[in-house]
Amino acid sequence: MAERAARRPAGRVTETFTRSDERQGAYGLLESSAVGADEVGTAMFEACARRSASESFVFCAIDGTSLSLTDYEHSKGFGPVGSRAEGGRGLKVMNAMVLSAEGVPLGVSSQRYWTRADRRRRVHRDKLRPEEKETRHWLDAMKQTRQIMAEHAPSTRCWFQLDREGDAWPMLKEAGLGEHWYTIRACRKRRVLLADGGKAYLWPLLKQQPVKTTYALEVRAAGRRTARIANMVVRACKVTLDVRDKRTSERFRINVNVVQAMEHGTTPVGERPIQWTLLTNRPIEIIKDVTDVIAGYSMRWRIEELHRTWKSGACSVEDNQLRSASAAIKWATILMGVAARIERIKLLSREQPDLPATDEFSPAEIKAAALLYFGKAGKAKVTAAAAPTVADVTLWIAYVGGYTGKTSSGGPPGSITLSRGLKDVRVAAKAIEALARD
């Protein structure tokens, strides 16, 4: 099913499986109570870990999202998503995306689905234990990632990357377990214990720190943000956070390193300066350590690209019309594997363009891409003397999918054109494989 979904990614099962016997088999698996949703994801998680085994460390970007799914009669086991006033139904999900040190996707190491209750809880969240809040899904995603890596990539260190939703004391306590690293973007006014026994707040303390380095950041126009080259000033320090469990009033001391990158002198009138304040257990002994923390956090946005490809780009997972939450989760998990492959191909062609195409594509896929793009002349493009690279084949696939080149589109191929091209390439590759067998 995953192989077919990779050939014809689509949100609806009927669009991926065109033959009646295939559709019947697909629905049989998705609706079966004998196969759990977690089992469907196991192979994907293990493959991601094995692909990571040669890396000294990997970035693990963790983020949550919602799947808005059709459930007019509230009979499928979904829960509220989005604004309760709008009545949206669907699933909540937490994903962990693993990337190499160069930022190339290696796969997905964890997925945690849940549904919210139809009624709002009456107990204030400060009165709940961490395992009773949605915080637990962040913790579970990290735990599952650590476990799968320990089994299949024991020498690889995880460097978890979490946005501001991850700024909570349970994450700060547990993210670094097992000698793994974490970087969490701060959003709270954290209190700091000083060496002389006094206390201060983190933001004023950072302003007192000397400038470590500066760098130029290209800012693209978006919403109310003006395009510009931002001058970023970097400060860093080591602190002991004084955190409190509001439920029990218990206090904890957590030693962290803090790296702050703040725009200075280039902020347009009426806009807020760009600012990242990052909490990490990664050592920051030299300037390169500090800049590595910033560069690592910049990889976190790639999970948002993955979600876009999964939801509204190539896979359109929210279009499915399956009749139960269990079936929807199984199908969404399969499509997540497809989305991860598309993102891997896209970024591999940009970050490591000179790799042999055979590292990522089958011989039949390479031949099919060349023939569909070049016609008969494509045979000369895949000889031993002219072995194509990953970037070559990715570009051919993109052109097959309707890519018109950098001048027209403003950038390299994206996930949608690649997914369209892959559909045709996989069909042609199947024909090539069948002819070879004959």
CATH code of residue 170: 3.90.350.10
Report the DSSP pairing between strands 191-193 and 228-244: antiparallel
Q: How confident is the model at residue 5 (pLDDT cuts 50, 70, 90)?
A: confident
Q: Are residues 199 and 218 in the same domain?
A: yes
Q: Are residues 416 and 429 in the same domain?
A: yes
Q: Are residues 176 and 209 in the same domain?
A: yes
Residue 23, pLDDT score: 92
Q: Are residues 192 and 225 in the same domain?
A: yes
Q: How far apart are CA 236 and CA 296, in angstroms?
A: 15
Picking from 294, 313, 348, the residue at the C-terminal end of a domain is 348
Mean pLDDT of 370-392: 85
The total of structural domains in the chain comes to 2
User: CB-based contacts of 62: which residues, under 8 Å, 6+ apart?
Assistant: 94, 95, 96, 97, 110, 138, 141, 142, 160, 161, 162, 166, 303
Residue 279, pLDDT score: 97
Mean pLDDT of 373-382: 84
Instruction: Give the least confident one: 206-220, 365-379, 402-416.
Output: 402-416
Q: Are residues 358 and 341 in the same domain?
A: no
For 153, which DSSP code?
-
How many Cα neighbours within 13 Å face the side chain of 3? Answer: 6
Q: Which long-range contacts (CB under 8 A, 24 or more apart) does 422-426 make?
A: 422/6, 422/7, 422/9, 422/342, 422/397, 423/7, 423/8, 423/9, 424/372, 424/400, 425/365, 425/368, 425/369, 425/372, 425/397, 425/400, 426/6, 426/7, 426/8, 426/365, 426/368
Does the pLDDT of residue 406 top 70, yes or no?
A: no
Q: Which residue range forms the structural domain that includes residue 20?
A: 2-348
- Element spanning 15, H or E: helix 13-16
Q: How confident is the model at residue 424 (pLDDT cuts 50, 70, 90)?
A: confident
Of 128 and 336, the structure prediction assigns the larger pLDDT to 336
Q: Are residues 327 and 391 in the same domain?
A: no
Residue 407, pLDDT score: 44
Of 87 and 295, the structure prediction assigns the larger pLDDT to 295
For 72, which DSSP code?
T
Does the pLDDT of residue 256 top 60, yes or no?
A: yes
pTM equals 0.88
Q: What pLDDT digit, counting tens, does each position of 145-171 carry?
A: 999 999 999 999 999 999 999 999 999
Q: Are residues 148 and 16 in the same domain?
A: yes
Does the pLDDT of residue 58 top 90, yes or no?
A: yes
Picking from 325, 348, 371, the residue at the C-terminal end of a domain is 348
Q: SS3 for 33?
A: coil
Six token digits for residue 179: 């000698």
To 10 degrees, what angle do helices 325-351 and 390-400 make?
120
Q: Are residues 213 and 231 in the same domain?
A: yes
- Average pLDDT of the residues of the chain: 90
Residue 340, pLDDT score: 93
Mean pLDDT of 407-431: 79
Q: Contact at 8 Å (CB) between 293 and 282?
A: yes
Q: Are residues 419 and 307 in the same domain?
A: no
Q: How far apart are CA 279 and CA 256, in angstroms?
A: 6
Of 222 and 272, the structure prediction assigns the larger pLDDT to 272
Q: What pLDDT digit, counting tens, does each position of 324-354 carry?
A: 999 999 999 999 999 998 999 888 888 888 9
Q: Which residues of 26-46 are buried (b: 16+ CB within 10 A; e: fewer)?
A: bbeebeeeeeebeebbeebbb
Q: Are residues 337 and 358 in the same domain?
A: no
Q: How confident is the model at residue 98 (pLDDT cuts 50, 70, 90)?
A: very high
Q: Are residues 27 and 148 in the same domain?
A: yes
Q: How confident is the model at residue 201 (pLDDT cuts 50, 70, 90)?
A: very high
Q: Are residues 245 and 367 in the same domain?
A: no
Mean pLDDT of 267-278: 93
Picking from 348, 370, 396, the residue at the C-terminal end of a domain is 348
Helices (H), 236-286: none
Q: What pLDDT digit, counting tens, does each position of 164-195 carry?
A: 999 999 999 888 888 999 999 999 889 999 98
Q: Which residues of 75-97 are buried (b: 16+ CB within 10 A; e: fewer)?
A: ebbbbbbeeeeeebbbbbbbbbb
Q: How far apart are CA 132 and CA 121, in angstroms?
A: 11
